[in-house]
């Protein structure tokens, strides 16, 4: 039951929005949220209906994508719940779209909390539920307590919610930590302690995720007090083999402003009397002087726990391009690709991201079209909004209409009594990705064209259009122009979707196929129980295969090899027989005469010395890109004399 009558709550909300009544808790943030909930999202403040809850299948799909985040946060969730469970609180973790992907609730109280909407799979975006703890954090990216009648909807006026944001190493929001109680004192000051505990726990999860995502880098753990370096370090700085700073946690960026741009570790700390790599081997704690302030930071260094990935190495080595208003994020791996077609696609994608231009991605099955589409979404202004992917070829033709457009209550036999929102409506405010758009039935192409033209969708069995605001990215392995000429695809829809057309080359044609193989291997090897390395000769042989299934096939082959390998090196005998049979003996004999790693190391050092350790000149003399040179130097442990 609502804490106050629905009529009383509606009057209070309207009064605060119109300026006739005082703001909730005197907070401009809450008033702004109330106003958006009422005017922009057109929600009913008197509604007593609980939040939308995802189906088990939908939840599993989201949890699968957030596996690393869930792994890094689980212990902190349990620890926070242990501290506040005595006061009858539950703890929830949501993703960046407000979907509850993990929670901690006492088993005997589970039904009680579920009745209040506090349950795994529940959705707490402002668009759907109005003002609440999670929604406000998603919008303002700052911690908050939303106490009882601070909530926009009457259904939640018994709840008190304290929530805090959790950010990824690159700075983007990845989730929200929330502690909620169904019953609590009326005085909002009673929530101060819980609020602080939630903020601290969110920081611990953030640092745990940071360490989980930077295992391939050297890590500096720092604290102003020597006694806390081991127990609770505040500053975390990740740097590569050459000393280039890759990323840092929030506390480090706040305390050391110079970390905001690409820097070398020597630019931040005076390391003239100490070698950081040696500190990692001794596990010693030392005092480092900050060049900017002269203050001393006590620190220890952790060596990489696994080999650097292609993405990390090239991102650190290659020059950083300036894209005003853009956040390259996942697009960095494509921007620094040694394949000019991939790099050109990435440059174009960054320029058009957020420009309300539909994008059509072409390419064979398995080349990574959805991965590239996600990167475009994350590079735009809507990166914190939903990215909804629909595979038009995987949904039965009889269900695709209701799946895309949703349906009204009682629209057909077996329909939910309350109806269902379609994927298009779910993507409103964000990006809709239509994979294999070429397999969409002609009858639905007409309806999709109307959505794109008029910005509204009519649910199946309904007659009231719903406004939607979406960016659209489509992908197909077929030729749309040929389908248009054959009458299998609407010409007007084709022109509507192809605002920008990007073609992803097949893996066998990519100039950076070796780098792709190494990057995919590093990702799969990171999930193994022990450290794995890929045999260099095997990598060369894999690069000669045609790969009809492209990166998807490559990933499965390497995942199998990592799973069956019980040694430290993945070799030919660990490759599935059907793939191993494709590698010709002639290729193996030719590769057997390849220069040994020691010879390659000597050759690279000789050229670097001749070129006075200038990377551009050395890379040109060696016949490779500068990014490849940096990667080879890191792999062969070549450190320039000015870095020693």
The helix or strand, by DSSP H or E, that contains position 296, with its residue range, turns out to be strand 296-302
Given a cut of 60, whether residue 597 has pLDDT beyond it is no
* Per-residue pLDDT band at 330 (split at 50, 70, 90): low
Given a cut of 80, whether residue 283 has pLDDT beyond it is no
pLDDT of residue 142: 95
- The listed range with the strongest mean pLDDT (112-116, 217-221, 311-315) is 217-221
pLDDT of residue 329: 61
Given a cut of 90, whether residue 475 has pLDDT beyond it is yes
Residue spans of the domains in the chain: they are: 6-188, 214-302, 318-505, 509-592, 597-643
pLDDT of residue 599: 65
Give domain 318-505's CATH architecture.
Answer: 3-Layer(aba) Sandwich (3.40)
The stretch 511-537 carries a mean pLDDT of 84
- The listed range with the strongest mean pLDDT (195-204, 296-305, 485-494) is 195-204
Domain 6-188, CATH number (from 3.30.70.20, 3.30.450.40, 1.10.287.130, 3.30.365.10): 3.30.450.40
pLDDT of residue 410: 66
Percentage of residues in the chain with pLDDT exceeding 70? 89
Are the CB atoms for 498 and 533 separated by under 8 Å? no
Please, what sign has the CA dihedral across residues 75, 78, 81, 86?
Answer: negative
The helix or strand, by DSSP H or E, that contains position 472, with its residue range, turns out to be strand 471-476
Supply the pTM of this predicted model. Answer: 0.53
* Per-residue pLDDT band at 194 (split at 50, 70, 90): very high
Are the CB atoms for 203 and 294 separated by under 8 Å? no
pLDDT of residue 315: 39
- Give the pair of three-digit tokens for residue 79: 């620890």
Rounded to whole angstroms, the Cα distance separating 624 from 248 reads 30
The stretch 458-467 carries a mean pLDDT of 81
pLDDT of residue 627: 63
CA terminus-to-terminus distance, the chain: 68
How high does pLDDT run on average in the chain? 85
The CATH number of the structural domain formed by 509-592 is 1.10.8.60
Given a cut of 50, whether residue 50 has pLDDT beyond it is yes
Class of the CATH domain delimited by 597-643: mainly alpha
Rounded to whole angstroms, the Cα distance separating 371 from 337 reads 15
* Per-residue pLDDT band at 2 (split at 50, 70, 90): very low
Which of the residue ranges 134-148, 215-229, 409-423, 499-513 would you say has the lowest mean pLDDT? 409-423
DSSP label at 116? T
Task: Measure Cα distances from 72 to 113, 170, 611 in Å.
Answer: 25, 16, 45
| 31/620: higher pLDDT | 31
The stretch 7-36 carries a mean pLDDT of 86
Are the CB atoms for 331 and 375 separated by under 8 Å? yes
Are the CB atoms for 531 and 522 separated by under 8 Å? no
* Per-residue pLDDT band at 320 (split at 50, 70, 90): very low
- The listed range with the strongest mean pLDDT (335-339, 348-352, 381-385, 416-420) is 348-352
Are the CB atoms for 239 and 266 separated by under 8 Å? no
Q: How many residues in the chain?
A: 644
Runs of H (alpha helix) within 190-339: 192-213, 250-255, 265-268, 276-282, 310-317, 332-335
């Amino acid at each position: 039951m609502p804490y106050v009558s629905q009529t009383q709550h509606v009057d209070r909300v309207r009064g605060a929005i119109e300026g006739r009544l005082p703001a909730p808790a005197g907070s401009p943030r809450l008033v702004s949220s109330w106003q958006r909930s009422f005017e922009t999202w057109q929600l009913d403040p008197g509604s007593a209906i609980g939040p939308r809850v995802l189906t088990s299948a939908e939840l599993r799909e989201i949890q699968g994508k957030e596996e690393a985040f869930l792994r890094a946060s689980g212990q902190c969730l349990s620890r926070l719940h242990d501290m506040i469970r005595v006061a009858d609180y539950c703890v929830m973790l949501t993703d960046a779209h407000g979907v509850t992907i993990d929670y901690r609730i006492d088993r005997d109280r589970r039904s009680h909390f579920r009745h209040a909407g506090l349950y795994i799979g529940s959705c707490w975006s402002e668009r759907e539920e109005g003002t609440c703890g999670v929604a406000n954090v998603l919008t303002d990216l700052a911690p908050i307590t939303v106490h009882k009648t601070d909530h926009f909807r009457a259904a939640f006026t018994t709840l008190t919610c304290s929530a805090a944001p959790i950010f990824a190493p690159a700075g983007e929001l990845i989730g929200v930590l929330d502690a909620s109680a169904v019953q609590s004192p009326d005085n909002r000051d009673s929530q101060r302690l819980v609020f602080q505990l939630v903020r601290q726990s969110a920081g611990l999860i953030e640092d745990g995720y940071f360490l989980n995502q930077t295992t391939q880098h050297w890590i500096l753990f720092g604290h102003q007090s020597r006694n806390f370096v081991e127990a609770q370090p505040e500053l975390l700085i990740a740097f590569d083999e050459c000393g280039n700073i890759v990323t840092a946690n929030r506390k480090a960026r706040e305390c050391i402003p110079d970390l905001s741009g690409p820097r070398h570790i020597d630019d931040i700390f005076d390391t003239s009397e100490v070698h950081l790599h040696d500190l990692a081997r001794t596990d010693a704690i030392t005092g480092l002087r900050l060049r900017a302030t002269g203050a001393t930071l006590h620190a220890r260094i952790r060596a990489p726990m696994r080999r650097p990935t292609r993405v990390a190495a090239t991102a650190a080595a290659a020059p950083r391009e300036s894209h005003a208003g853009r956040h390259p994020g996942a697009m960095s791996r494509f921007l620094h690709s040694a394949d000019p077609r991939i790099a050109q696609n990435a440059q174009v994608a960054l320029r058009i991201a957020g420009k309300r231009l539909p994008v059509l991605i072409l390419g064979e099955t398995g080349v990574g079209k959805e991965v590239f589409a996600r990167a475009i979404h994350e590079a735009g202004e809507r990166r914190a909004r939903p990215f909804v992917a629909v595979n038009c070829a995987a949904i039965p033709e009889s269900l695709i209409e209701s799946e895309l457009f949703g349906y009204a209550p009682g629209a057909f036999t077996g329909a939910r009594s309350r109806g269902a929102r379609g994927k298009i409506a779910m993507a409103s405010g964000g990006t809709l990705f239509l994979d294999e758009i070429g397999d969409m039935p002609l009858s639905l192409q007409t309806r999709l064209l109307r959505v794109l033209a008029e910005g509204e969708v009519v649910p199946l069995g309904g007659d009231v259009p719903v406004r939607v605001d979406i960016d659209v990215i489509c992908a197909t392995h077929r030729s749309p122009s040929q389908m248009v000429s054959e009458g299998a695809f609407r010409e007007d829809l084709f022109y509507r979707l192809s605002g920008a057309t990007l073609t992803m080359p097949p893996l066998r044609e990519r100039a950076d196929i070796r780098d792709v193989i190494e990057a995919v291997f590093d990702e799969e090897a990171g999930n193994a129980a022990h450290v794995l390395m890929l045999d260099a000769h095997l990598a060369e042989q894999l690069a000669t295969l045609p790969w009809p299934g492209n990166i998807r096939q490559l990933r499965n082959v390497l995942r199998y090899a990592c799973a069956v390998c019980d040694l430290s090196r993945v070799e030919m005998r660990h490759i599935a027989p059907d793939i191993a049979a494709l590698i010709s003996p002639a290729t193996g004999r030719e590769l057997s005469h390849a220069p040994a790693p020691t010879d390659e190391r000597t050759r690279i050092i000789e050229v670097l010395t001749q070129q006075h350790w200038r990377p551009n000149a050395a890379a040109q003399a060696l016949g490779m890109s500068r990014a490849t040179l940096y990667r080879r130097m890191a792999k062969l442990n070549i450190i320039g004399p000015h870095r020693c």
